Amino acid sequence: MKKIIFAFIVLAAFAAPFFAQSVPMDQAKEMLKRIDQNTGYFGTDFTGEYVLVQEKPGQGNSITSAIMYRRDSKAMCTIRITGPDSDKGKGYVQFDKNIWFYDPSNKQFTFTAPKDRFQDTNVNNSDLRPQHYSDFYDIESAEFVALGKLDCVCFTLTVNKKSANDVDYPKIKIWATKDDCLTRKREDYSLSGQLLRVSAIPSYQKVDGRSVPSKMVIQDRLRGQKINGKIKYESTQITVSNVSFQKLGDVVYSKQYLENMSL
């Protein structure tokens, strides 16, 4: 897919900083907190339409569409799958720190974890929710870097001892623009240092004064196929549209809501 390929051409350009200068630790901690805040929409509800296009080299593309509802102040979230037709009525609901998947074919809810894959794409459930880097990770280093035309800060983070069970990846790198602390790129690593995933947010949209990703791309470095002598990795592009911050009824964040909407 041309859009996905283009996004990762942008990522490749981002990979080589033109300069690097250390960020004072106090400043780095404050910036990391701002990065966290930018990934959530607290004090309001959030609604957005999501389209996920997964590209599997040699197998073609698959498309999943969904509507997401979030109340980040209470860590509540509901996702209704709206396409393809075979998956309509399925959904996810999160409350009390638990995530439940609903399948209308058997009218059953099953527990799923934040690190589980969303609809078998390259996206984890946790990717679609607020991040808590400043709570779960220690800052190993933070540097001012130039990535393409963007002035960024690159954070290298390692999970702290008390949060080992709360994160998907023990080591990560984040590139965030210096002026607004919006995440632009992220790399996820294993404890041994193997690169597992590369994510990019090439563009944001402004809605009611808030910055919301308009496009995201996640490349899975563990899933790929050799084509014409080169490894091509699976990737998923996410497009977010029709964003609203209107307050929603409490019933939206319930199992009953998913059951009723699937009828």
Q: Which domains does the chain have, with CATH numbers?
A: 2-261 (2.50.20.10)
pLDDT tens over the chain, length 263 residues: 555 444 544 554 445 444 568 999 999 999 999 999 999 999 999 999 999 999 999 999 999 999 999 999 999 999 999 999 999 999 999 998 899 999 999 999 999 999 999 999 999 999 999 999 999 999 999 999 988 899 999 999 999 999 999 999 999 999 999 999 999 999 999 999 999 999 999 999 999 999 999 999 999 999 999 998 999 999 999 999 999 999 999 999 999 999 999 98
- Gap between the Cα atoms of 57 and 67, Å rounded: 27
User: For the range 81-84, what are the long-range contacts, defined as Cβ-Cβ under 8 Å and sequence gap of 24 or more?
Assistant: 81/119
- Gap between the Cα atoms of 218 and 48, Å rounded: 19
- Gap between the Cα atoms of 109 and 170, Å rounded: 29
Residue type, 46: F
pTM as predicted = 0.90
Helix (H, G, I), strand (E, B) or coil at 57: coil
Contact 54, 62 (CB under 8 A): yes
- Gap between the Cα atoms of 246 and 7, Å rounded: 31
| Closest of 199, 175, 190, 186 to residue 122, by C-alpha | 199
73's CB contacts (< 8 A; 6+ apart) are: 42, 43
Contact 137, 163 (CB under 8 A): yes
Q: What local confidence, expressed as pLDDT, does residue 153 receive?
A: 97
Residue type, 138: D
